[in-house]
């Protein structure tokens, strides 16, 4: 039984005119991670799915631009991050909002649940006040569990810059949370 090909070997095979198997293997290997990245940034499963497909189309059309200066996964996540950020920025300019008539707001019955929900709500409101890039860095670190080095590589930032931006974003959320909680 043959060992699975590395990402880089698959890309070389793809570029040397054996695309079908390589495209499918790389897609299957990374589709869930890219989808989760898109979902964490958009908070909309349908948009995340559309963005994921768009990202993979973009990646495979530009696969020859991959220069192996970083791992394929880092390159892919960087494209996903940038694509989602661009789409979110574009959507904010257009500012289209939908109305969900079937929205139901369930009130928790237990006091601890209520306090937990209220805390989450306040933190989410504080998060929404951050810029897209600040939110993205926090999500990469705390939702995706990426290291400072990986975040720096994916976002084309120095590690010290990533650390400082994370600290400033956390401080901003803490201040906003305190302000909202005491209001």
pLDDT in tens, 72-114: 888 888 889 889 888 888 877 775 555 555 555 554 455 566 5
DSSP code for 101: T
Domain that holds residue 42: 1-98
Domain check: are 71 and 112 in the same one?
no
| Last residue within a domain, chosen from 66, 98, 130 | 98
Whose tokens are 């302000």? That residue is 179
Residue 64 is predicted with a pLDDT of 73
| Last residue within a domain, chosen from 98, 113, 138 | 98
| pTM score of the predicted model | 0.51
Confirm if 154 and 146 have CB atoms less than 8 A apart.
yes
Domain check: are 116 and 134 in the same one?
yes
DSSP code for 2: P
- Element counts in the chain: helices (H) and strands (E): 8, 0
Tokens coding 134: 């600040």
CATH of the domain at 67: 1.10.1740.10
Domain check: are 37 and 75 in the same one?
yes
| Last residue within a domain, chosen from 77, 98, 119 | 98
């Amino acid at each position: 039984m043959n060992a699975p090909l590395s990402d880089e070997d698959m890309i070389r095979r793809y570029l040397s005119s054996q695309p079908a198997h390589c495209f499918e293997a790389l897609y299957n290997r990374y589709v869930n991670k890219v989808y989760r990245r898109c979902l964490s940034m958009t908070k909309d499963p349908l948009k995340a799915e559309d963005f994921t497909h768009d990202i993979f189309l973009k990646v495979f059309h530009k696969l020859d631009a991959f220069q192996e200066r970083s791992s394929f996964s880092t390159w892919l996540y960087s494209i996903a991050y940038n694509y989602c950020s661009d789409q979110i920025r574009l959507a904010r300019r257009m500012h289209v909002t939908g109305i969900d008539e079937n929205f139901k707001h369930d009130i928790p019955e237990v006091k601890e649940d209520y306090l937990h929900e209220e805390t989450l709500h306040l933190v989410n409101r504080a998060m929404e006040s951050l810029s897209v890039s600040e939110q993205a860095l926090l999500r990469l670190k705390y939702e995706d569990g990426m290291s400072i080095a990986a975040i720096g590589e994916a976002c084309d930032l120095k590690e010290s810059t990533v650390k400082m931006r994370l600290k400033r974003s956390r401080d901003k959320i803490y201040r906003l949370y305190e302000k909202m909680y005491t209001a």
